[in-house]
Amino acid sequence: MSKLLQINSSLSNDQGQSTQLADFFVSKLIEKKPDTEVKTLDLSKNPLPHLDGERFKALVTPADQRSEGEAAIVAEADELLADIQNASAIVFALPMYNFGIPSVLKSYFDHLARAGVSFKYTENGPVGLLDDKPVYILAARGGVYQGMPADTQTEYMKTFLAFIGLKNVQFIYAEGLNLGEASKEKSLDNARQQVLELVSALG
């Protein structure tokens, strides 16, 4: 049975274009594979605290030395990693805010990146410790940035995900959504067509 983890981060929640595209992708995948299980993590509705000194200390303190509060922080972070490990594929709904990823998504990533747990350092550099699996990113942008220096999202997402072991990453972009209704509809139609082609090609 296929297990999908969908991660949303739009401030507009279910009305966000990235969320709707991710929902469309997941719905088409379920049509193809009705036994698919989906777990949705909405980081805007349920944001994680930003990483601070207290939370960082908890994540790096040995288990037998943690306070009760530190143990609770680690348990929350462990559950996030378990969601990743238990999924057979991951779907990100990714809006662009001020040329970057949403801060709630950055907080989520900060809780995933844990030395000795999700990655380790070796003589040849860092090695991700999570099992690789397909990652699909539905990226919605108001302007047009793909392939330009202002697109800080694409390489950041690829770099971070590879850092923890997730290297099989595919993007579908919907850009120019704030450049008029015609541009918006054309871009969304193109993104939905890419979704259909991608799902059709999946085994």
DSSP string of the chain, one letter each residue: --EEEEEE--TTGGGSHHHHHHHHHHHHHHHH-TT-EEEEEETTTSPPPPP-HHHHHHHHS-GGG--HHHHHHHHHHHHHHHHHHH-SEEEEEEE-BTTB--HHHHHHHHHH--BTTTEEEETTEEEE-SPP--EEEEEE-SS--TTSTT-HHHHHHHHHHHHTT---EEEEEE--TTS-HHHHHHHHHHHHHHHHHHHHH--
Residue 175's pLDDT band, with cuts at 50, 70 and 90, is very high
List 115's β-bridge partners, or say none. 119
Across 190-195, average pLDDT: 97
Q: Residues 1-25: pLDDT tens digits?
A: 489 999 999 999 999 999 999 999 9
Residue 10 annotated as binding site:
yes
Residue 119 annotated as binding site:
no
Q: Alpha-carbon Rg of the chain, whole angstroms?
A: 18
Residue 203's pLDDT band, with cuts at 50, 70 and 90, is confident
Please state the domain extents for the chain: 3-201
Q: What percent of the chain has pLDDT over 70?
A: 100
Residue 190 annotated as binding site:
no
Fold of 3-201: Rossmann fold (3.40.50)
Q: Residues 89-147: pLDDT tens digits?
A: 999 999 999 999 999 999 999 999 999 999 999 999 999 999 999 999 999 999 999 99
Across 167-184, average pLDDT: 97
Residue 98 annotated as binding site:
yes
Mean pLDDT rounded to a whole number for the chain: 96
Q: Residues 35-87: pLDDT tens digits?
A: 999 999 999 999 999 999 999 999 999 999 999 999 999 999 999 999 999 99
**Whole-model pTM?**
0.95
Residue 9 annotated as binding site:
no
